[in-house]
């Protein structure tokens, strides 16, 4: 068949036919040729735990959605295409319930096209060698490379599977798993954490536009000590639970973000990106240590006896926070903050109890700090791309008169490991993709603001929880300084 086709068609005709095939298989009419490292054209990327993921990206055009993912030949997802092809409608329904923007039908069509072109290449290679045939082979190889680029760009947008107990559907609310602690009550007018910080002269938020811009802050005095105390308290508890410390870089390549299921391009991305045209490097500022720890395990093969791996990292987190919200002033939503992050690599059989352990650690930490909080099983449309199941913890914040998110934990199954090639060797000797899980142990600004508001006294002072006092040099109360306030006036 291939020989008859070649004898009847010129090189130009073959080229025209291949382009026609690509248009037929590409339902969105997207350009086929994609460079290995594309110009991202903006300066941010979006982690999974900010603003509940992907909500606003749904309104972008098909072409923009495709270009939101940075696929490179260095990092091809090791997808289970047999499973995807056998469960197209089930996956399409999962995407709909998660409010994702992937198109599994397009992924399958591109896969079929790729397999068709590869078969054509094999058939032509069996025909022998000649200058004319060599030209045809080069053209076909180019078309295969280009189709692979489009296929992996499209396939990278597929979300993870969803746990059967997760609340389903776009209108579903989170399921309350547990409510812990007593809600604080006051017999006096309460202050917000911003007012308390100014009154006690421990937080500076005003007049920073000329220094750092909006959504920024300075901790000083007792607030800076409290930040340090929260980190030390959390680290001590994690070490006692068998976690091991790791220090991660703040600058990470976009492909690691992509491998974690986080977009590095698009209108509503959340992580800052260096301008590689100026710095001659393609790097992003990490919005969570999850990315750095995942990158540490990237392209590794562990022995099953080494699992589970339980790591934690203390890191600065950088987030663009492009969303408009009521928390424009204060510590709830800021561009840079300290966080202690937990990250685990496990087998499938270990993943459920590791997930339960992450939640138990979070629950114990916040209980020891005396917080009133609720644990929520998040619905499908709030999972983002990588999570199979996600629990959020929301603490009561008196000034808001509502609960606010202070922590989350996610079981990402093999979603990230297939994209980052994190594997382990089983007892039987075969290679399997590991399961990855992550959880926030302490997002300092949100926990700190909750502690300030919940422990305030009538005179504007703040009681320090007993669990933190050993890390505060024995200090039990934060009081207003006798004088010497530093007044800030922009000249």
Quick one: which of 394, 356, 370, 342 has its CA closest to 237?
Answer: 342
Sequence ranges of the binding site: 288, 319-321, 334-337, 341, 405-408, 438
Q: At what angle do helices 104-125 and 11-25 cross, to 10 degrees?
A: 160
Task: List the Cα angle 366/394/214 in 5-degree steps.
Answer: 105
> Hey, how many other C-beta atoms are within 10 angstroms of the C-beta on 283?
17
Token pair 């114990």 in the structure block, residue = 364
Taking a C-beta distance cutoff of 8 angstroms, is the pair 88, 108 a contact? yes
Sequence ranges of the binding site for L-serine: 288, 319, 341, 438
Segment holding 195, helix H or strand E: helix 193-199
Q: What are phi and psi of 337, to 5 degrees?
A: -160, 165
- Phi and psi based region of residue 307 (left: phi greater than 0; alpha: psi -120 to 50; beta: remaining): beta
Beta bridge partners of 437: 344, 411
First to last CA, the chain: 81
151, HSE (Cβ side, Cα atoms, 13 Å): 23
Is 69 strand, coil or helix? coil
The dihedral formed by the CA atoms of 42, 46, 52 and 57, expressed in degrees to the nearest 10: 40
Q: Is the dihedral of CA 299, 304, 308, 312 positive or negative?
A: negative
Write the DSSP assignment of 223-242 as a string of letters.
HHHHHHHHHHHHHHHHHHTT
Q: What are phi and psi of 389, to 5 degrees?
A: -150, 145
- Phi and psi based region of residue 18 (left: phi greater than 0; alpha: psi -120 to 50; beta: remaining): alpha
Sequence ranges of the binding site for ATP: 319-321, 334-337, 405-408
Token pair 């604080």 in the structure block, residue = 184
Beta bridge partners of 313: 341
Which tokens go with 204?
A: 């500076």
Q: In sequence order, which residues have a C-beta less than 8 Å from that of residue 471 and are 6 or more positions away?
A: 225, 228, 229, 232, 233
Residue 163: exposure state from Cβ atoms within 10 A (0-12, 13-18, ≥19): middle
> Hey, how many other C-beta atoms are within 10 angstroms of the C-beta on 302?
17
């Amino acid at each position: 068949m291939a020989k008859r086709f070649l004898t009847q068609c010129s090189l130009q005709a073959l080229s025209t036919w291949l382009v026609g095939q690509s248009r037929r298989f590409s339902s969105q009419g997207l350009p086929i040729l994609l460079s290995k490292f594309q110009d991202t054209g903006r300066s941010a990327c979006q982690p999974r735990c900010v603003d509940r993921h992907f909500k606003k990206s749904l309104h972008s055009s098909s072409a923009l959605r495709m270009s939101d993912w940075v696929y490179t030949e260095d990092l091809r997802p090791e997808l289970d295409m047999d499973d995807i092809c056998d469960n197209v409608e089930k996956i399409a329904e999962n995407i709909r319930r998660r409010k994702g923007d992937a198109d599994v039908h397009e992924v399958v069509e591109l896969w079929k096209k790729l397999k068709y072109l590869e078969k054509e290449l094999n058939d032509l290679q069996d025909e022998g060698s000649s200058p004319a045939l060599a030209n045809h082979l080069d053209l076909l190889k180019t078309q295969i490379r280009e189709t692979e680029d489009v296929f992996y760009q499209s396939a990278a947008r597929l979300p993870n599977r969803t746990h059967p107990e997760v609340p389903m559907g776009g209108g579903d609310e989170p399921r309350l798993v547990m409510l812990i602690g007593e809600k604080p009550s006051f017999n006096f007018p309460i202050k917000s954490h911003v007012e308390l910080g100014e009154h006690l002269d421990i937080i500076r938020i005003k007049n920073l536009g000329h220094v750092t811009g909006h959504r920024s802050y300075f901790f000083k005095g007792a607030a800076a000590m409290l930040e340090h105390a929260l980190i030390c308290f959390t680290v001590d508890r994690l070490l006692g639970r068998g976690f091991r410390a790791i220090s991660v870089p703040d600058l990470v390549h976009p492909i690691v973000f992509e491998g974690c299921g986080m977009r590095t391009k698009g209108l509503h991305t959340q992580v800052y990106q260096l301008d590689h045209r100026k710095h001659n490097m393609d790097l992003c500022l990490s919005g969570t240590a999850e990315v750095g720890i995942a990158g540490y395990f990237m392209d590794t093969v562990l022995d099953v006896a080494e699992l589970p791996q339980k790591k934690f990292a203390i890191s600065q987190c950088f987030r663009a926070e492009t969303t408009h919200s009521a928390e424009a002033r204060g510590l709830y939503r800021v561009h840079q903050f300290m966080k202690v992050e937990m990250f685990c690599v496990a087998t499938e059989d270990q993943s459920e109890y590791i997930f339960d352990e992450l939640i138990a650690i979070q629950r114990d930490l916040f209980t020891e700090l005396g917080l009133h909080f609720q644990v929520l099983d998040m619905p499908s449309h709030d999972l983002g791309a990588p999570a199979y199941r996600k629990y959020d913890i929301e603490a009561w914040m008196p000034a808001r008169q509502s609960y606010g998110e202070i922590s989350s934990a996610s079981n990402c199954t093999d979603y990230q490991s297939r994209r980052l090639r994190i594997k382990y060797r089983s007892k039987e000797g075969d290679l399997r993709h590991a399961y990855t899980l992550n959880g926030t142990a302490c997002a300092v600004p949100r926990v700190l603001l909750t502690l300030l508001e919940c422990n305030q006294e009538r005179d504007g002072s703040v009681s320090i929880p007993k669990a933190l006092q050993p890390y505060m040099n024995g200090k039990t109360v934060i009081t207003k300084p006798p004088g010497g306030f530093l007044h800030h006036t922009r000249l």
